[in-house]
Amino acid sequence: MEKHPVTAVIVGGGHRSFIYADYSLTHPEDLKIVGIADPNRERCIIASRKYGFSEEFCFESAEELAKQPKLADAVINGTMDHQHFMTAAPLLEKGYDMLLEKPFACSADEMHRLLSIVRAHGNKVMVCHVLRYADFYLEIKKRILNGDIGDIINIQTVENVSYHHLSTSYVRGKWANSDICKTSMLLAKSCHDIDIMTWMMLPVKPERVSSFGGKFQFRPENAPKGAGTRCLSDCPYVDTCRYSAKDMYLGHPERWAFYAWTEFEGRDNVTYEEKAESLRTTNPYGRCIYKCDNNVVDHQSVLVEFENGATGTHNMIGGTASSGRSIHITGTKGEIFGDFESGRFTVSLIANGHPDGCEKIEVDTSTGEGHGGGDEALIADFTDFVRTGEQSVSCTSIYNSVEGHLTVFLADKSREEGGAPQVCDYTLY
């Protein structure tokens, strides 16, 4: 039987959407992009030319797209976090299957409502928990499924968010203020890690959650004496502060270009002087790091108790020298400890007859590009999921993303209540 490509419309023409849509350029037999919905007309035109569809299939919004006859099999929804529900709902009701960026909901209520729509219409929805597809985590999952370390007693995950990532995304940037972006730091950044924890434990579910955290560094009272409000216009520390926008964005103009230079999108050969003037005047990334409107935490610890008595912890620490993720899983027969950035993990098995008391197996996975090679694997799996309905080991179906999302929602509630334990109630989901 001839295999036809899955047809898809991009909703929200941002960085993540285009990463997944680019799969159509290298695997046209699996994916074909046939339209886009985005209020930025320039971005729509760029997409139409890149993926080879007529400009008549460029729409201003998900709502406008939903009013048209169904154009494709699926939607790649890469809108901002707080737009996920409002853009997904009308298109799911129209009958589209969907690849939906994480988090698929910003609250337990949104999660309940979206799941109700999916159940009613029978959509195939995958959430972009891309780390499940990275070779590093997939190989660990396979060893757990194989019973190599026995029953899990404890899982520890850690995410270090580098100083330049924290300051760009969560202090000066799009995810700095939960009143605007509608997501917490834990939901926006570490829902990947919480999802990994709950995925490793499946089918055992979280039962209780407790959490502590806060905003430690970037507060007005911590600003150096006499610091200005914008690095390049009125601050005497512009050449010495480690968070100076001058060094952060002009000294490393490509590192966070997609965020820092949004106003120059579509332009080539933007000058140093133009970028400096932008930071000096209106660019939000030119603000003093201590005098922004950020209200999300920069560090948080989560404790989870599972229904079988196992426990898990996640520590998110922002402002570290370098980014990194690590995982340590202890079972009744052994343990696994690994570092995501290196792609290496060690399996230590209890072996009483061994001179060291344990047998160690070193595993080196290929991390590849884009979340450890997970980006391409995820979109490939999505096309298979749409065609067949079959779910791989990694498949992030919306139904098996519930445990991770609910854990995050309850962790933030616990943190707001001084660490009070929260009980997981799955009856709505």
Query: In which order are the strands placed within the sheet that holds 58-59?
Result: 58-59, 31-37, 6-11, 74-77, 97-100, 125-127
pTM score > 0.85 for this model?
Answer: yes
d(CA 342, CA 427): 40
Can you read off the two tokens belonging to residue 154?
């404890």
pLDDT in tens, 363-391: 999 755 555 678 999 999 999 999 999 99
Tell me the per-residue pLDDT of 145-161, one tens digit each, with 9 for 90 and over: 999 999 999 999 999 99
Interatomic CA distance for residues 384 and 337, integer angstroms: 32
Contact predicate 299/229, CB 8 Å: no
Query: Among 61, 62, 14, 11, which Cα is nearest to 39's?
Result: 61
Can you tell me whether residue 316 is helix, strand or coil? strand
Average pLDDT over every residue of 36-52: 95
Q: Which ranges in 354-401 belong to alpha helices (H)?
A: 370-388
Tokens of 370: 């884009």
Average pLDDT, the chain: 95
Query: Residue 83 pLDDT > 80, yes or no?
Result: yes
Q: What confidence tier does 266 reach under pLDDT thresholds 50, 70, 90? A: confident
pLDDT, average across residues 105-134: 96
Contact call for residues 177 and 296 (beta carbons, < 8 A) = yes
pLDDT higher than threshold 80 for residue 299? yes
